Amino acid sequence: MKIIGIGNALVDILYRLDDEHLLSEIHLKKDAMTLINERWEHEIEDLTADIEKRMSSGGSIGNTMLALARLENEPGFIGRVGNDGMGDFFEQKLNDAGVHTKLIRGNEMTGVAHTFITPGGSRTFGTMLGAAYYMGPDDISVDMFHGYDLLHIEGYLVQDQDLIESICQKAKQAGLILSLDLSSFNVVSKNRTYFHHLISDYIDIVFANEGEARAFTGSFDAQEQVRHIAHMCDIAVVKLGEQGSIATMEGGRIYKCDAIHVEHVVDTTAAGDYFAAGFLHALTRGHRLKKCLQVGTVLATEAVQVIGSELPPSAWNRIKTGIHCRQL
């Protein structure tokens, strides 16, 4: 089965901070994603001019497709970037990894996600969507999905309901399975009713972390959360951080996978994105939910030990040779 993803095409600009003082200075809420405008983005650039930074291709779905490509899948990615150097950088990064990009080019600036990593590996985002904000229903065609079997969708897109509705309708018309990552506690809280409609009407697989699952279901109990979500789709997955992850199908057994202990968490930026890549990689090869959770856990474990969204070749070698991934 071939997988394609759609989401905000962003370039990640990564900063590693010794404390949280700068977050207050630039008015970002710790551990949250805050949408910023161009003026705010320029202020951040000014205040971080003397701080060491790294750039990588980013966005939740971009990260997941990159990881799938490293696992020797042939994924695709749909998104909108600007006709600028950042857009070229984003496209080149994904293409070099083996992702087939279907990018819409606009006259706007390519979106950026200023990602601040504080002690303990937590991350705070100041995101200027730029060109990604202007991706609309008319940019999406049924033909974009031909040749693929599963579409993985970024929950952040729910902020344009006409767009995400059009995506789901056209992907279903093309016969695809639909997978959704809820993406953000804040986004779920603000769009809970719409998410209920979206999942009930279109979505086959849902990924959520414990905060997103709580915002969506209103429950603090993980098993209640995963059963609630599974009642609305085919497969529900809830990631529980240090407590591992669980998954189920409606009316079925709840499978659990323990987390792998990591001595020193460096950065959790792409952990959820990589978990989804591992889970979908195993699922599309016919493996059971328990195995899917295990593979997702291995990728997430590797992701939290590096800064940013790209694993070193040594990590991919460990995974692909089956040291952790058990020959998947």
> What is the overall mean pLDDT for the chain?
92
Asked if residue 216 is part of any domain, the answer here is yes
Q: 70-79, 255-264, 268-277: which has the highest mean pLDDT?
A: 70-79
Q: Categorize the per-residue pLDDT at 323 as very low, low, confident or very high, splitting at 50, 70 and 90.
A: very low
CA-closest candidate to residue 310, choices 281, 269, 279, 276: 269
| Strand partners for 153 | 6, 180
Q: Within a domain: residue 245?
A: yes
For 178, phi and psi rounded to 5 degrees?
A: -115, 130
- Residue 77 located in a structural domain: yes
The closest of 283, 228, 246 to 68, measured between CA atoms, is 283
Q: Which helix (H) or strand (E) covers residue 247, if one does?
A: strand 245-249
- Strand 76-82 to strand 53-58: parallel, antiparallel, or no bridges (unpaired)? unpaired
In a domain? residue 20: no
For residue 21, is it within any domain?
Answer: no
Read off the tokens for 146. Answer: 């031909």
- Name the residue range of residue 221's domain: 3-8+58-108+137-320
- The greatest distance separating any two alpha carbons of the chain, rounded to the nearest whole angstrom, comes to 55
Residue 325 counted as domain residue:
no
Predicted pLDDT of residue 230: 97
Q: Is residue 170 part of a domain?
A: yes
Distance of alpha carbon 261 from alpha carbon 243, whole angstroms: 10
Alpha carbon 276 to chain centroid, angstroms: 8
pLDDT in tens, 306-316: 877 788 888 88
Our count of domains for the chain comes to: 1
In sequence order, the 6+-apart residues with CB closer than 8 A to the CB of 92 are none
pLDDT tens readout for residues 105-146: 999 999 999 989 888 777 888 999 999 999 999 999 999 999
Question: For the whole model, what pTM was predicted?
Answer: 0.91
Average pLDDT of 202-223? Answer: 97
Report the CATH number that the domain containing residue 87 is assigned in CATH: 3.40.1190.20
Kindly report, residue by residue over 159-200, the tens digit of the pLDDT. 999 999 999 999 999 999 999 999 888 899 999 999 999 999
Residue 227 lies in a domain: yes
